[in-house]
Structure 1
Amino acid sequence: VTPRHQSAEGKVQITDIRDTSEMIAQLQGAEAVIHTAAQVSVQKSLEDPLYDVDINVMGTVSVLKAAIAAKVKKFIFISSAAVYGNPLSTPVNELHPVNPLSVYGTSKLAAENYVRMFENTYGLQTVIIRPFNFYSPRAEVDSPYSGVISKFIDCAAHNKPIIINGDGQQTRDFLHAQDVSKMIYTALESEVSGVTFNCGSGQAVSIEDLAKKVAKLASNKIEIQHGEPRNADIRYSVADVQLARDLLDFHTSITLEEGLQELFDASNQLSAKISMSMQ
């Protein structure tokens, strides 16, 4: 939330996004909303689809309604590449048909439709951003927000085998969280409205190759093993990011190799601190 008259730096207010009245109160004086709140676990969405819909669809509608009531000017919605499902071709551009494989992807797509409707009906300026596979050194390995990179890095840092779900030939488009934030900020500051953007690097990396890159970071030899494939797992995924380049002049600033090294170093530093505290 960006206030009109004062800086929001350091101010955190915990509010249930489904509580529309409280959201209206919190959005008073805000110029823009960056809506990232969501149930993000694909597996949990399959196990409890009602909860997934409640948070991702009803929660989004609640925030949209609050934004209109508080006279917010711009609404940035963070969706997901999961809305595409298994691509018919790659790289995937924003005009590719949407056919989500999971409840999570379906709920994100439904929320997107509500975002567009609120722009068309109420005149709210909106931008939808579809991140592909982003990663961050701040991600906790056990969190549903953490993806395959965090899990692989944790294994390498602790000299444990890296477990690949399936044959490892599935591909992903990995992007550092700093670059995701960069796109969000650029979209927020731009005059662009009514546009959906892919948020990715534009580079396809197989899970097998990712595991090898991570294993090379460790001083000891890390074994790579294969487990059962995950349910509703997309086979191939890579973003076409030309639209973001054209309209937002967006370019990634952190390579995958740089990002992996950063995460590996951070994990080792954390392990060292924990070890020292236990002595």
Structure 2
Amino acid sequence: MPTALVTGAAGFIGSNLSESLLDRGYTVRGIDNFLTGHRHNLDPLEEHDDFSFFEIDIRDAERVADVMEDVDYLFHQAAVPSVPRSVEDPVTTTDGNCTGTATVLDAARRANVDTAVVASSSSVYGSSEELPKVESMTANPESPYALSKYYTEKLAVQFSELYDIDMVALRYFNVFGPRQDPEGEYAAVIPKFINLMQDGERPVIYGDGEQSRDFTYIDNVVEANVLAAEGDASGVAVNVACGDRITVNELVERINKVLGTDLDPVYDDPRPGDVRHSMADLDLVREELDYEPEVEFQDGLQRTIEWLKGE
């Protein structure tokens, strides 16, 4: 079976992807610098004989090159996440996401890796009110994070044109699920709200709550990565989502229903860099990867709540 290198393997997406690859029979090498990843996410991975982990910063060209040797598929998930974080600290975001990506992709092409799949983001579309978001739309990244993700995918596409390596960029839409960190200032909305509400605390919504998102369960993202690696697509950036959307107000209502609570949100000022609405068109990803979302939002929400409750 093939050997895969997963960057950001101790993170939410990277750890779920690594576990799925191991279950599919891959040999997996994981790297992470623990800036935002967690060691406990590696626990189920290290039970597999075919998993090895290296504590490496993706900007360390020499060490990245060493671990890239004899790799068939690269899954580049490592990044400094969060729009608000990037607004407050654009230098760290840009350095990690841009310099880091260039370092990893260069090591991949020098090691003759067959295919690289890189994580991009729906934030590259910006705040245009046109829905659904189609890959042919003009990108308009409105935060340093969004700009770094646009650079990531453009560099991947360019590598596929300049070198003999297949590259696919996946524009993730609001991924959620088990192992996503519910704590901290920059925690994603779904685990953060669940964590607060199961403790009887009211969640804070920035804005009026009518902003909408195409929330995408983690299993769909993992499947898209595998399809991109094992398929024939190259030199493309495609949406990965469910092709639907719900408002943040509705999100609170649905969490209340599953938890059996009746908590009203607290409203605060909108945050700079946040887009108003987001929903993906899935035509291109269906065409390029034969992708279909396997887990719809409500089922994914139920699974995430059960995981956070330790059930």
Q: Pick from 144, 147, 152: which aligns with 1:111? A: 152
Partner of 1:130: 171
Residue 260 (str. 1) matches residue 276 (str. 2): no
How much has 1:58 moved relative to structure 2?
0.6
Residue 247 (str. 1) matches residue 247 (str. 2): no
Residue 7 (str. 1) matches residue 9 (str. 2): no
TM-score (norm 1): 0.91
What is the CA RMSD across the aligned residues, in angstroms?
1.7
**Residues of 2 paired with 1:145 and 1:191: CA distance?**
36
- Of stretches 29-38 and 9-18 in structure 1, the one that deviates more from structure 2 is 9-18
Partner of 1:148: 189
**Residues of 1 paired with 2:79 and 2:252: CA distance?**
28
Q: Pick from 277, 281, 298: which aligns with 1:236? A: 277
**Residues of 2 paired with 1:216 and 1:226: CA distance?**
20
TM-score (norm 2): 0.82
**Residues of 2 paired with 1:202 and 1:235: CA distance?**
16
- Of stretches 255-264 and 176-185 in structure 1, the one that deviates more from structure 2 is 255-264
How much has 1:14 moved relative to structure 2?
1.7
Contact 1:87 1:237 in 2 (8 A): no
Residue 269 of structure 1 aligns to a residue whose secondary structure is coil
How much has 1:71 moved relative to structure 2?
1.2
How much has 1:107 moved relative to structure 2?
1.1
Using a 3 Å threshold, how does the CA distance of structure 1 residues 129 and 121 change in structure 2: closer, same or farther? Answer: same
How much has 1:223 moved relative to structure 2?
2.4
Q: Residue deviations 1:116-158, cap 9 Å, x none?
A: 2222111221001000101012112125774111111112211
Residue 81 (str. 1) matches residue 122 (str. 2): yes
Q: Pick from 219, 237, 240: which aligns with 1:178? A: 219
**Residues of 1 paired with 2:167 and 2:252: CA distance?**
37
**Residues of 2 paired with 1:233 and 1:198: CA distance?**
19
**Residues of 1 paired with 2:261 and 2:252: CA distance?**
14
Q: Residue deviations 1:47-81, cap 9 Å, x none?
A: 22121111111111101111121111111111111
How much has 1:100 moved relative to structure 2?
0.7
- Of stretches 167-176 and 36-45 in structure 1, the one that deviates more from structure 2 is 36-45
Residue 12 of structure 1 aligns to a residue whose secondary structure is strand
Residue 149 of structure 2 aligns to a residue whose secondary structure is helix
Residue 152 of structure 2 aligns to a residue whose secondary structure is helix
**Residues of 1 paired with 2:118 and 2:309: CA distance?**
34
**Residues of 2 paired with 1:220 and 1:130: CA distance?**
34
Partner of 1:42: 83
- Of stretches 259-268 and 55-64 in structure 1, the one that deviates more from structure 2 is 259-268
Q: Which amino acid aligns with 1:220?
A: T
Residue 166 (str. 1) matches residue 207 (str. 2): yes
Q: Who wins on radius of gyration, i.e. which is larger?
A: 1
Q: List alignment gaps of at least 5 residues for structure 1.
A: 271-279
Matches within 5 A, 1:52-71: 52-71=93-112
**Residues of 1 paired with 2:310 and 2:92: CA distance?**
37
**Residues of 1 paired with 2:290 and 2:161: CA distance?**
26
Identity %: 31
**Residues of 2 paired with 1:246 and 1:64: CA distance?**
25
Q: Residue deviations 1:143-187, cap 9 Å, x none?
A: 577411111111221111122111011110001011100111111
Q: Which amino acid aligns with 1:166?
A: G
Contact 2:126 2:141 in 1 (8 A): yes
Residue 219 (str. 1) matches residue 284 (str. 2): no
**Residues of 1 paired with 2:70 and 2:226: CA distance?**
19
**Residues of 2 paired with 1:238 and 1:178: CA distance?**
18
**Residues of 1 paired with 2:68 and 2:237: CA distance?**
24
Figure out how many residues of one structure are paired with residues of the other and give that number: 268
Residue 273 of structure 2 aligns to a residue whose secondary structure is coil
Partner of 1:23: 64
Contact 2:207 2:267 in 1 (8 A): yes
Q: Which amino acid aligns with 1:7?
A: T
